[in-house]
Structure 1
C-alpha cells in the first residue's frame, strides 16, 4: 500500500467514527500504555543500537515523561472533553446559551526526529488520540531499529488506520508533509520546519512546529557559581547536549569566568568520571553530527580565546563520543554562535553589565528556552515579563518541558504553536462555538419599525 492509499484509508476510517466516545479514547490510550510498558527493554535496546551508545539514564529520562504524560492525560481527559460554557453577551443573554465544543480534527500527521525519538513520537500521539484523532507518523531515517520495533509493537494493539508508522528518506518526508492532513505536528530543525509549513500551506493544513534555536543561560552576580553550574551541567549533559532545549551558550559576568570554568569541569568529572569511557555518556547519534561539531571545534581554535575540555579523556571520535567542551568567548560570527549547537559544545561569553547580556540574547531569534540563574526576585520578574522565549526556567535547565500541565512550544523561529496538557488537547481539536436559542429571540426587534426596548438597550450600550 502506498502512502496516499494509507492516508485515504485512515481518513475513511475516521469518517466512519468522527467523534470517538470518552471510553473509546481511554481504550486507545491504555493500548498505547501497554505498548510502551510492555516493550521498554526492546525500545531501549533499539535506541542504543541506533545511537551507537545510549546511556541508561538518558533512555529513562526519555521514557519517564512519556509514562507521566499518559497518566496525566487519562486523569484529565474527561474534563477536557466537556463543553466550555461561555457568556452569549448582553443581547443574547436572556434568550440563548453559548458553549464551545471540542471536536477531533481528523487525521493528524506527526513528523518526529532522531534525538529523543520515542518521546517526540509517543507524546504527541497520546494527545492526538486523546483528542479523538487518527495518526500517521513519519519517523526519522536515522532511527531504523526503533522504527521497526515501534511499528511491530503498535501492530499488536492498533489497526493501521488508527496509528501507522511511515519510514523513508527525505523524499518520503516531502510526500508525507504534502498530504492533506487535518493537522501536522513537526519536530526538527527550523530549516526543515519551513519546508513542512510551505507544503502544508498548499492544503491549508494547520501546523505545530517544535523547532529549536540557541537557548541561552544567563547567570547574574547574585547566584553562587556552584549552584548555577549544578543546574546547567545536568541540562547540558543530558543526551550529550542533543536536545532542542539544551543550554546552547552561557552568559556570565566577566569576573566570574575562571570560577565557572573550574566549577564546571569539577562537577562534570563527578558525573563522567572516565570521560568518554564513562557508560553514562551518550554518543553523537550520526556521523553527520560528529562531522558538523568537529568543524565547529576546528573553527573555534582560531575564533575563540580558548577551548577547555571538561575531562582530559575528552574524545573518542571512532565511537562518536565527545565530552563537553567549553568554548571561551567565541567570536560573534563564529559557527558556534550563529548555529544551534545540538551537542556537547558550550560557548561561554562574558559580559560587563546585565544590559549587555540582555542585548546579546535579544540580538538573536527568540529561543525555544531561556535559563536564568539569579537569586534576585526583581530580576527574575523582569526577565520573565520582558524577554521573549518559548519556555523558561529560573535556577534550573531543561526540565520545564517535563511539566505535563503546561504548554511546550516555541516562538517564531523556535516554533509555532504548542502541545502538552490541555493546550495540546486544544491543538489537536477543533473548537466549535455553539449558540442555542430558545422560544424567543430579541434580535428580531432590531429590525421592527419604530422604537422598542431592544433598540433602547442598544442605544444605552453605544452611549456608554
Structure 2
C-alpha cells in the first residue's frame, strides 16, 4: 500500500511538473518567437557535444535496460544517426530558414509572395522504448533547428536510459528550452493532452489512436510514427543469398524490435526451401551463438518476451511449422530473455503473428505463385511503414513501387532508408501520418507562413465596388477563361 501511495504521489509530482514546464516554455517562446540561425546552431552544437561526451554512459544505460543490448547496434542505430542528423541540420540550416519566393499572378501585380518559416512554439515528443536515444534526439534536432522549445516524454520501460537522457539534457539546456519528463502511463496520458503547438509520437498504432484523440481536444497537429506489418518481397530471380543476407540483417538487428523490421517475407513457392536454407546460413554466420553473444540483443522485458512466446505457441497450435535458428543449440529458456530468430511456415490468417505487428525475432514466410499475387496480398492489408523488394530487374522494381503503398521503401536492402539524412521518414494510414528527418523535420516543426506584400500602388482597387464597370468587365474577360 505504501509503495502505491509513493508511486501515485510521484506521478502527481510529474504531472504538476509538466504544467509548470509547459507554461515556462510558452512564456520563453513569447519572449523569443524567432530564434536566430546563430542561436539554433549553438543549441545543436551543445546537443552534439553532450552526446559525444556521454557515449559510454549511454551505451551502458541502454545495455542495462535491455539486459543485453549490442553496443555496436546502439552505436550504429542510435548514436551515429543522432550525431549525423545534427551535422546535416547544421550544414543546411541557413538554406532551410530562408524565405522561399513564390509566383505572383499578373492579376495581383505589383506585389511579392513568399513563404516564411516560423517556429511553431512548444512541441511535445513522446519516445518509445526500442530506440530510446535516437527516437528522442532525432525529433529534438528537428525541433531545435526549426527554432522551437521541446518537452520530451521518455519511456518508462527504459528507466536507466530515460534517467540518463534527463540528466544529460538538463545539464545541457535550460528547462524552458528543453525538458525531459519521466513517469508512467498516467503521466504520458497527461502529456499527450497538453495544448502543444505540435506533438510527435512514436509507438504502436493502438496507442497512436489514443494520442491522436487526446491531441484533437486541443486541435494540436500531430506526427504519428507507428508501425505495422512491413513485408519483404523476394522476387523470382534475385540471388537468394543476397536477399536472405539483407533480410536476416534487418530482422536480427535489435532482435527485431524495430518499427521498420521486416515483419513477414513473401517468397515464390518454388523458392521457399531455398530461402529457408540460405536464411539459416546467413543468420548463423552473423550470430554463431546467441546466449552469451553480446552482438545478439535480448527482448526488452518479460511482458514482451511472453507476448512473443505466445505468438509462437498460438501459431504452433494452429498448425504452423516452427523453424528455430539456434546455431550453437543453446538453452535460452532460463532467464536470458533471448529468443532465437524463428521462421514460421504454413501460416494462416487467424494466427496472432499474422494479425499483429510482431516486433521481435519471429519471421513468417508466406509463399506466392506470381508477383501480382504478392502485390495483391500486400495491398489488401493496412499500409505498412516500410516495404522491402529484392530483385534486380529495374522494370519489376518500378512495377512494385508504383503498385504498392508504404511509408518508405528499400529496394534490395532493409532498414537503411531510415538512415538517409535527406529522405523523409514517416508512415501512411495505419502506419502513421506526417514525416520528419532532415529538411522534412525542419518543415514539420515550422509553420509555413504565407506572406503577400504590396507597397504604395494598389492595383486591387480596380475590382473594388461599385461593380459592373468597364474595368471589371475587362478583368473578367482576361482572367475568367
Q: TM-score range by the shorter chain?
A: over 0.9
1:164 pairs with 2:151? no
299-308 vs 45-54, which moves further: 299-308
What displacement does 1:383 show? Answer: 1.5
Given that 1:49 and 1:145 are in contact with CA atoms closer than 8 Å, whether structure 2 keeps it comes out as yes
Distance 2:199 2:269 in 1: 45
Given that 1:107 and 1:136 are in contact with CA atoms closer than 8 Å, whether structure 2 keeps it comes out as yes
SS, match of residue 194 in structure 1: helix
Given that 1:446 and 1:455 are in contact with CA atoms closer than 8 Å, whether structure 2 keeps it comes out as no
SS, match of residue 398 in structure 2: helix
Partner of 1:376: 393
SS, match of residue 251 in structure 1: strand
Partner of 2:218: 203
Distance 2:85 2:319 in 1: 42
Partner of 2:422: 405
- 1:167–1:200 Cα change, 3 Å: same
1:90 pairs with 2:106? yes
Partner of 1:6: 21
Given that 1:264 and 1:310 are in contact with CA atoms closer than 8 Å, whether structure 2 keeps it comes out as no
2:448 corresponds, among 428, 431, 434, to 431
Distance 1:206 1:449 in 2: 41
Given that 1:242 and 1:342 are in contact with CA atoms closer than 8 Å, whether structure 2 keeps it comes out as yes
- 1:304–1:327 Cα change, 3 Å: farther
Distance 1:403 1:143 in 2: 26
Partner of 1:75: 91
Given that 1:105 and 1:430 are in contact with CA atoms closer than 8 Å, whether structure 2 keeps it comes out as yes
Q: Tell me the alpha carbon deviations over residues 421-450 of structure 1, each in whole angstroms, 9 at most, x when there is no partner.
A: 111111101110011102212221123666
1:254 corresponds, among 260, 269, 276, to 269
SS, match of residue 101 in structure 1: strand
What displacement does 1:329 show? Answer: 2.3
1:327 corresponds, among 316, 337, 344, to 344
Distance 2:444 2:389 in 1: 29
Partner of 1:456: 474
1:59 pairs with 2:77? no
304-313 vs 77-86, which moves further: 304-313
Given that 2:291 and 2:336 are in contact with CA atoms closer than 8 Å, whether structure 1 keeps it comes out as no
For structure 1, the residue ranges without an aligned partner over 5 or more in a row are none
Partner of 1:306: 321
1:107 corresponds, among 122, 126, 141, to 122
- 1:282–1:435 Cα change, 3 Å: same
1:150 corresponds, among 165, 185, 188, to 165
Distance 2:18 2:453 in 1: 42
Given that 1:265 and 1:311 are in contact with CA atoms closer than 8 Å, whether structure 2 keeps it comes out as no
Distance 1:110 1:173 in 2: 11
Distance 2:73 2:468 in 1: 75
So what's the TM-score if we normalise by structure 1?
0.97
What displacement does 1:2 show? Answer: 2.3
For structure 2, the residue ranges without an aligned partner over 5 or more in a row are 1-15
Partner of 2:373: 356
Given that 1:276 and 1:322 are in contact with CA atoms closer than 8 Å, whether structure 2 keeps it comes out as no
1:40 corresponds, among 43, 52, 55, to 55
Given that 2:260 and 2:385 are in contact with CA atoms closer than 8 Å, whether structure 1 keeps it comes out as yes
Distance 2:438 2:471 in 1: 46
- 1:304–1:119 Cα change, 3 Å: farther
So what's the TM-score if we normalise by structure 2?
0.94
Distance 2:312 2:194 in 1: 40
Given that 2:315 and 2:347 are in contact with CA atoms closer than 8 Å, whether structure 1 keeps it comes out as yes
What displacement does 1:9 show? Answer: 1.0
Distance 1:437 1:238 in 2: 56
Q: Tell me the alpha carbon deviations over residues 20-53 of structure 1, each in whole angstroms, 9 at most, x when there is no partner.
A: 0000000111111011001000011000001100
Q: Tell me the alpha carbon deviations over residues 336-358 of structure 1, each in whole angstroms, 9 at most, x when there is no partner.
A: 10000000000001111212211
Distance 1:125 1:441 in 2: 44
SS, match of residue 156 in structure 1: helix
What displacement does 1:315 show? Answer: 5.3
